[in-house]
A and B are shown apart, each in its own frame.
Chain A
Amino acid sequence: MGRLSLRSVYLGLAAPVGALLFALLVCAAILGATGHPPLEVAEAMVGSLERPRTAANSLNSATTYYLSAVAVAIGFKMRLFNIGVDGQYRLAAMLAAALAGASFMDALPSVLRIAMTVGAAMLVGAVWAGIAGFLKVTRGVSEVISTIMLNAVATALVAFLLNPDRLAVTVAGSNNIGTPTITEGGRVPGFGYPGSSSDVFGLILLAAAVGVAYWFMLNRTRFGFDLKATGQSQSAAVASGVNVKRMVLASMLLSGAAAGLVGMPQLLGASYSYALDFPAGLGFTGIAIALLGRNHPVGMAFAALLWGGLDQTSNVLDLSGVPKEIVVIMQGVIVLSVVIAYELVRRYRLRLEQRDVGRALGTAPAAEEVRA
């Protein structure tokens, strides 16, 4: 490994950087073709990042996105596609918000309240993901389909429960409805950001802790080893004594528990209630970020920051008449081109390795053998 390290670093960076450049080119072309000078758009976006408020909001978005990405990555590591993070976090956030806002919670000490809220969210997320895991190991139902279905069922359930007859109350002064507002003791205070009116989520620390825990689990525990082994070669994992069914269920539950956390920074740091306007679709953002960051705890952090920055700075674009969806297009192109780039790099690396082996053995492999 030592000899190859420089090359593997450069190869590892080639894919994301190449994909980013490609996405920039595509978006510049689209902007140019629709009569918006690309450089001015880029300048406006970068300029807005210097505003403290935008920077703080970018950090906040990145916090949520990172949690979502970790939830997705736990499944991805063993080739389990948890498309259902979206439904899991919305249901979890909604029920946790109802619990945290309930009046009997007022009497409890603040730490306990927050712990109970977060714990409830993790539990709900795990249960909802567990349904898909259970169906997969007992009935052989593809988790892709079942989690997509469960997303829709979660949407219906949230709509059902978020009703003034049930868990919701009308938000004062608007026609919005939401769970009862969480009182002071149940909130997580944020960090002030110099010059910004909005705080940075206090639960950004939770995201960091989840990242560390994810790293520790993957690299320092038996479970993480089994997880990676199952993902890379199921037959090899089975041969070395891994119970794949149990791994599927366990990683689905873990993934769901992490998904339950996704809504927490927003809920306990800014909204204080789950209302109709609670951010949706974060689960899909998580998929994109996990792909871009290659399921790596640090890689995903950079990807989440990039995504958060893109989302927040795009808000200035609408003012200058450029549809801000150009950023969504850019994100989509990044995801698609980054997976293609990773695949190309993988093939290239395989070819290099085979050439190295051939050189070491003194025989150059014939062209047909060099095939990924």
Chain B
Amino acid sequence: MSASGLDVGSEQITAPPRQRRRMSPVVYLYIAVGALLVVSLVRVLTGAGNLTSSGTVSAALIAAVPIALAGLGGLWSERAGVINIGLEGMMVLGTWGAGFAGYQWGPWAGVLLGVALGALGGLIHAVATVTFGVDHIISGVAITLMAPGVTLFLAKLYFTDAPGGGQKQSPPIDDVAHVSVPGLPSLLDSIERKGWFFVSDLAGLLRGLTTDVSLLTLLAVVLFVVTAYVLWRTPFGLRLRSCGESPPAAESLGVNVYKYKYAAIVTSGALAGLGGAILAVASSQFRDGQTGGRGYIGLASMIFGNWRPGGVAAGASLFGYTDAMQLRGEEAVHALLLLLGVALIVLAVVQVRARRYVVAGVATVLGIAFVLWFLFTDQVPAELVSATPYVVTLLVLSLAAQRLRVPKWIGQPYRRGQGT
């Protein structure tokens, strides 16, 4: 639960300590293939080619990266036991940094300044929560309140008279280089055009992931790998995570809890800042209100991903995908309904096998409702589609909250020597 808040309902989370085998990578591969099969089935049934076209996939990738980095930032902070609602604010600082340095000294300088400003936001959060023991939610909300004011203030000062800039936007920023895997695009393109069941969908997916990929996207991928390695394979990561599980135990073993929490929160801010900077670079300028709540979606993707890097990436991809679908016309969005319905019914079947009948029942009812909605309408209002990531998060939280494994000491303030 949240910072020193009520832990009502959370008693269920600790309920039966089920013996769970860790799933092997092969299982994940099966799941991925299964998901793609469902998607291509839906594509064939509805004729909405955009569901798996390479254009959709690459748009989804672009949309997912800022969310994923915010989620990764949340992961760092929360693994050390500090809730970071301020991700949104730190992202906002990152967008301004990218705009300011980006138009003057190129996109990479912009990214650098964005990261630095995000880290600064993280530092403020760290000072408030770690040193002064302020409630994590309150500090985060304050930072999120302040960041748009700071950036708009600075934007009015520095961008108003700049060429191509304005009171609420920066002059244009150049994009970084994009790369493709040589040779593949034309081959995959021809397969994608055939419209074969599954094969063409796979080709579209691969083409989207290998063609014209921004170097910043690659950077994000590298950061996910680095995070997974550092947090789970090094002594530093073990100590950092121990601060999120049981700081008294960590301290009794000589870990400087404050230092690790500071490191985690500043990293968290830097990653959120990077996410903001990438957002600004990808849309070629800083604009006021550019983040549009992506910091919160990042937080949601972290919860969705059960506080693990792979899960964060999966959650962010899902949100990026729904984001991209909105731009792909009504036909694709309408097909999304059937997809959601089928996905829920599949979930229900899985839950029945696990003997969780209540969850299975809810999922079945919702799934059938979505399928009926698909069958009896021709289009979905575009306004409602923007709610999809949030509704999905709520569904996941309420259907699977018991299976989430939250860091034990999350949200509680810790003062040095508290355990003695």
Which positions in A face B, CB cutoff 8 Å?
Answer: 30, 34, 78-81, 83, 135-146, 148-150, 152-153, 155-157, 159-160, 163, 230, 234, 244-245, 248, 284, 287-288, 291, 323, 325-329, 331-333, 335-336, 339-340, 343-344, 371-372
Contacts and interface: CB of A to CB of B under 8 A. Distances in A.
Given A81-B2, A140-B402, A152-B390, A325 B149 contact: yes
A263 B356 CA distance: 42
Contact of A80 (B5, B383, B387): B5
A136 B9 contact: yes
A143 B3 CA distance: 11
A81 B136 CA distance: 11
Contacts of A325: 149-150, 152-153, 156
A327 to B, nearest CB: 8
Nearest to B7: A234
A340 B383 CA distance: 40
Nearest to B156: A323
Given A248-B6, A335-B145, A371 B134 contact: no
Interface of B: 1-13, 83, 85, 124, 128, 132-135, 137-139, 141-150, 152-153, 156-157, 293, 296, 299-300, 303, 381, 383-384, 386-387, 389-391, 393-394, 397-398, 401-402, 415, 417
A336 B146 contact: yes
6 contacts: A83-B141, A135-B394, A149-B394, A155-B386, A287-B145, A328-B149
A245 B9 contact: yes
Contact of B296 (A81, A152, A245): A152
B415 A136 contact: no
Give the interface centre of A248, A284, A328, A344 by most chain B CB atoms within 10 Å: A328
B334 to A, nearest CB: 16
Contacts of B5: 79-81, 142-144
Contacts of B157: 34, 323
Contacts of A244: 6, 8
A83 B146 CA distance: 16
Contacts of B7: 234
Nearest to B13: A140
B10 to A, nearest CB: 5
B9 A329 contact: no
A154 to B, nearest CB: 9
A58 to B, nearest CB: 19
A149 B393 contact: yes
B146 A333 contact: yes
Contact of A339 (B135, B156, B402, B415): B135
Contacts of B386: 152, 155-156, 159
B133 to A, nearest CB: 6
Given A288-B145, A323-B153, A343 B8 contact: no
Given A153-B387, A287-B141, 15 more contacts: A135-B397, A140-B8, A143-B5, A156-B384, A234-B6, A245-B9, A287-B145, A328-B148, A331-B146, A335-B138, A335-B141, A336-B128, A339-B135, A340-B132, A371-B415
A141 B398 contact: yes
A163 B11 CA distance: 43
A235 B153 CA distance: 46
Given A323-B153, A371-B415, A153 B137 contact: no
A149 B401 contact: no
6 closest A-B pairs by beta carbon, nearest first, are A328-B149, A332-B146, A140-B9, A156-B387, A323-B156, A325-B153
A163 B383 CA distance: 10
Contacts of B397: 135, 139, 141-142, 145-146
Contacts of B149: 325, 327-329, 331-332
A137 B132 contact: no
B337 to A, nearest CB: 15
A303 to B, nearest CB: 14
Given A156-B387, A284-B141, A325-B149, A142 B394 contact: no
Contacts of A329: 146, 149-150, 153
Given A145-B299, A371-B417, A340 B134 contact: yes
Contacts of A30: 153
B143 to A, nearest CB: 7
A152 B147 CA distance: 19
Contacts of B134: 339-340, 343
A149 B300 contact: yes
B415 A152 contact: no
A153 to B, nearest CB: 5
Contacts of B415: 371-372
B296 A148 contact: yes
Nearest to B406: A142
Nearest to A35: B157
Contact of A79 (B4, B13, B390): B4
Contact of B133 (A135, A156, A343): A343
Contacts of B387: 152-153, 155-157
A137 B9 contact: yes
A79 B4 CA distance: 8
Contacts of A332: 142-143, 145-147, 149-150
